[in-house]
Amino acid sequence: MTLGIASGRLRLRPLAATDIDRVARFLGDFEVAGMLARVPHPYDRADGLEKLRAAEAAAARWPDVEEIGFAIDHDDGLVGAMSFRALRATPVIGYWLGRPYWGQGLMSEAVRAALGWLFTATGAAAVEASVMQDNPASSALLRKQGFDVIGPDACSSLARCGTVPAIRMRLERAAFLGSSNA
């Protein structure tokens, strides 16, 4: 199974160390980093490069990995990224998009394509997400893909230096594959 995913306007591919400049630029924006669990602010470029190298190595070991990350490319290159972690349990999706690309429907397109890949490439029965309560755009995006709220959650945020209220969401494989999203 290939790790390349194509959609109408986007190409999802494994993350690479060569992505560091654009990743550092976009994740250096607190408006982006502040909605993520595992990204500090200010963004640590050396740590980011190490994580990109680890993601590149994980892609080379696919499918024998617990987490896989994808760069989201559009026109002039990387505009965001997404990952699935806990692949051997119930996968958890995470994603971000550089602020210049907000409001264009790119993340909805990327998530839809990635979910199609996930349910084709793995035996996952469902996928989950934790969305910070003050990120209504992200919860709306997931609802559009068929995710249901399963309850309250708490999300650790390195950028915010603490835990913030969140919503846990879940999408069943059958619901996705039986919808117009697949």
Given this model, what pLDDT does residue 179 score?
73
Q: What is the CATH number of the domain that holds 68?
A: 3.40.630.30
Burial class of 142 by CB neighbour count within 10 A (0 to 12, 13 to 18, 19+): buried
User: Is 66 a member of any domain?
Assistant: yes
- The neighbour count for residue 47, using CB atoms within 10 Å, is 11
* Full domain range(s) for residue 78: 5-177
DSSP state for residue 4 in the 8-state scheme: -
Q: What percent of the chain has pLDDT over 90?
A: 94
Total domains, the chain: 1
Q: How far apart are CA 71 and CA 89, in angstroms?
A: 23
Given this model, what pLDDT does residue 2 score?
60
User: Is 104 a member of any domain?
Assistant: yes
For 100-156, what is each residue's pLDDT tens digit? Answer: 999 999 999 999 999 999 999 999 999 999 999 999 999 999 999 999 999 999 999
User: Is 182 a member of any domain?
Assistant: no
